[in-house]
Amino acid sequence: MSSAAKEYFKKAELAAKKGNFQYAIELYTQGLIMDPSPAEPRKMLHRACTLAIEEQGGNAQGGLKAKFKLAPIQANIKKLSVQKKPEEIVNEYEKAIRIAPQDVRLLFGLAGALQQLEHEEAAISTLEEVLEFDKSNVEIYRKLGQLWSAKDEPEKSITYWEKVRQYKPDDKEAGKAIRDLAAASMVKKTEARKAESGDESFQAMLKDEEESAELEKKQKVLRTDEDFREAIKWKKDEIRQDPSNSRLWRDLASFYQSVREWKYAEAAYKKALEVNPHDMFVKEKMGQLRESRFQFEIETLKAKLEAAEQNGAGGNEELAKTIEAKEEAFREFRVVEYARRVKEQPTDQDLKIEYGQILMSAEKYDEAIAQYQQAVKDPKLRVKANLLIGNCWEGKKLYDLAEKQYVEALGGVANEDSEQGKRLKYHLGRVAEAKDSKENALKWYQELMAIDIGYMDVSARVAALMS
């Protein structure tokens, strides 16, 4: 960092502490023009921009006014991109970020320009800023995984790739990256051990070959309980060599979970949190573990009840009550667990939909509506959220409100013959029936029958109305 830039950053920090955010912004900006590589001053600049906007009662994520102000800057960024001028692009992005410092697209674009200039630390820091207010952005996690991998930091890279896989379990790129990086991590540790011991002997070479063969075994696809139990042994060996690595404890927990060793799995997750209280995955994984355990226990009890009934055994009332109590405990657990997840990931609108459905199943309709009313702001979720709000009003027997919500949702459906369109028409028919409006009910049901005569019980409902 140049001494002149450092001086600007010191003055900027003092100005920000005094609450003089505009002056701090100017000083940080000048310093970064002199030396664009430092990560922390750039982060502090964006923080000052946010505080300056919030102080005036504005929206740091942007808005309609911001959109008009950003248009000419974004046009200039496109022009500079064609001209391949990354330094000027960085400066233009910073102009835009002064207007909307929490705009994900702007920060993502800035990170890309910084990466082009080979300022990887600043690029990483900029992407990590986004995660402070948008924890569900999969592409940010993907990019951070790639950047840390390029910096030869396999453990840090794995952390972000695991987050990609959490949101997209079938993501092939994430799965391959985790496998390759785990191998790279082991190689790195072997090299470090050799350098520390100075052991370059023939015995060391043989040991490397043995470790490579062992690693190849570990990377095979795990399918059976026997595979997972073998993997548990290997993972324990790795933990003995690196006991403060929370990822290894999480891996061990997931293997225990796969063979339904619930107590050991939970103990391993707790250990992961103990060695690294900042591990962003552990609480999520523990919640998923408890959810899986509930589901497994309920399915096991139901299978036992079914077998008893088929065998003609009596006294099943107690077992049925046990199942009912377990299902009620599961509902209560999910309400609490998903409330925690939504609180920790307030920008994840898909999660709000999921939480709303859990609240609906517990007949907590008002709480569910509150979640859907937030999710409805996301254009891709608008129709689904409106439909679910309608379901809640219907559950509360407020049929006029339900009808209004379904009509609004239907207006947003691109193809009324789609599954969503059919479902909405079905519910509009049911609401009309509930309101004793036979004519309207028949209208919606007949429209639905013209598309799909076998949809649910629509034919039987029409026959009943016409009899």
Structure tokens at 19: 């609450």
Q: What is the DSSP string of 375-412?
A: HTTSGGGHHHHHHHHHHHHHHTT-HHHHHHHHHHHHHT
Cα 110 to Cα 12: distance, rounded to the nearest angstrom: 21
Give Cα 122 distance to the centre of its chain.
23
Structure tokens at 419: 């599954």
**Apex 432 CA angle, 426 and 433, nearest 5:** 90
Structure tokens at 232: 């548990």
pTM of whole model > 0.75?
A: no
With a CB cutoff of 8 Å and minimum separation 6, the contacts of 398 are none
At residue 151, the 3 state secondary structure works out as coil
* Helices and strands (H and E) in the chain: how many: 23, 0
What pLDDT does 201 receive?
53
**Along the 467 residues of the chain, how does pLDDT read in single tens digits?**
667 888 999 999 999 988 899 999 999 999 998 888 889 999 999 999 989 888 888 888 877 788 889 999 999 999 999 988 989 999 999 999 999 998 888 999 999 999 998 899 999 999 988 887 777 788 899 999 999 988 888 888 988 888 888 778 778 888 888 888 877 776 666 666 556 655 555 454 445 444 444 544 554 556 788 888 888 998 898 899 889 888 889 889 989 998 999 999 999 999 999 998 877 778 888 998 999 999 999 999 999 888 888 887 666 888 899 999 999 999 999 999 999 988 888 878 888 999 999 999 989 999 999 999 998 888 888 899 999 999 999 999 999 999 999 999 998 887 888 888 899 999 999 999 999 999 999 999 998 999 888 899 989 999 988 87
Q: What's the pLDDT tens digit per position in 316-369?
A: 888 899 999 999 999 999 999 999 988 888 878 888 999 999 999 989 999 999
What pLDDT does 226 receive?
86
The ranges assigned to domains in the chain are 221-278, 280-347
Structure tokens at 301: 């009890």
What pLDDT does 206 receive?
45
CB 327 within 8 Å of CB 298: yes
Pick the CATH number of 221-278 from 1.10.1740.10, 3.40.50.300, 1.25.40.10, 1.10.8.60: 1.25.40.10
What pLDDT does 184 receive?
73
DSSP state of 418: S
